[in-house]
Amino acid sequence: MRVLVCVKRVPAPGAKINITEDGQSVDATNLGHTMSPHEECALELAVQLIEAHGGESHVLTLGTAEADEQCRWAASIGISKATLVDAGSMDWDPQRTASAITDSIRSIEEADGGFDVMIFGNESADTGGFQVGVRVSRALGRPMVNAIKGVEVDLEADGKGATLEARRETDNGFEVYQLPMPCAIGVKEGITWPRYPTMRGRLASKKLAVDVAVSDAVPGGQMKVRLNRPEEKVSETVILGHGSEAAPAVVELLKELGLMS
């Protein structure tokens, strides 16, 4: 089988995000980057599917030239091929991004054959738009389900063609979907535990030939007005006391909270 994973280079979680003076972009000075946690799990899922069923895995990302780092990280854990669609900058709206990714997937499939499964992160860690995977799968005419926390692939399916069973967690258990392949899924963090690359994997990733493509996708109808960084909330810890000496302070606090009179 052939599996595609789409990832995105994003600021490292927990980092302090500063905005440029014009309010139009993130100030990347001294800012570390990684990929979204959902997508780390998506890569691991792709590797596991190939280990279980055989075939080839492919990672695709759209971004700046620096996103080569994420392609090589994917290769270090077992992804076979990589494509970087050089966007020149990260100032792309979801419609334009989806259009460029769709065009790139079509080109790859024309050259190497179709993908049985396309895997996206449920949403990116920076913009959280929830749009790109759905737009791409719709443009390619393939069924998709988001928020997936479990996957099983049946390449035989009793003569009915290959299927993918996708499980979505709900408050009452799981929703189960049977998708005919080729299909697409958006996975959530926790569907797998991402592995760390081995030394052999890191060395192999340096030799990987990352295919670089360009896109002529035009901007969509969405327009960014400005970025706003939420006001930082500072919490302060107050020690009420130690041992029995803290009892009066605890009683006063409970009264203040209305938990006792």
Mean pLDDT (the chain) is 90
Give the three-class secondary structure for 179.
strand
The pLDDT of residue 90 is: 64
φ and ψ of 169, to 5 deg:
-75, 135
The per-residue pLDDT for range 98-148, each reduced to its tens digit, is 999 999 999 999 999 999 999 999 998 777 788 999 999 999 999 999 999
Q: Which helix (H) or strand (E) is 99 found in, with range?
A: helix 94-112
Q: How far apart are CA 169 and CA 153, in angstroms?
A: 18
Q: Which domains does the chain have, with CATH numbers?
A: 2-233 (3.40.50.620)
φ and ψ of 157, to 5 deg:
55, 45
Strand partners, 157: none
Strand partners, 195: none
DSSP state for residue 195 in the 8-state scheme: P
- Higher confidence at residue 160 or residue 138? 138
The per-residue pLDDT for range 30-89, each reduced to its tens digit, is 788 889 899 999 999 999 999 999 999 999 999 999 999 999 999 999 999 999 999 887
**Confidence category of residue 157, pLDDT binned at 50, 70, 90:** low
Can you give the pTM of this predicted structure? 0.84
User: Picking from 50-54, 103-107, 206-210, 237-241, which range would have the lowest pLDDT averaged per residue?
Assistant: 237-241
The pLDDT of residue 67 is: 93
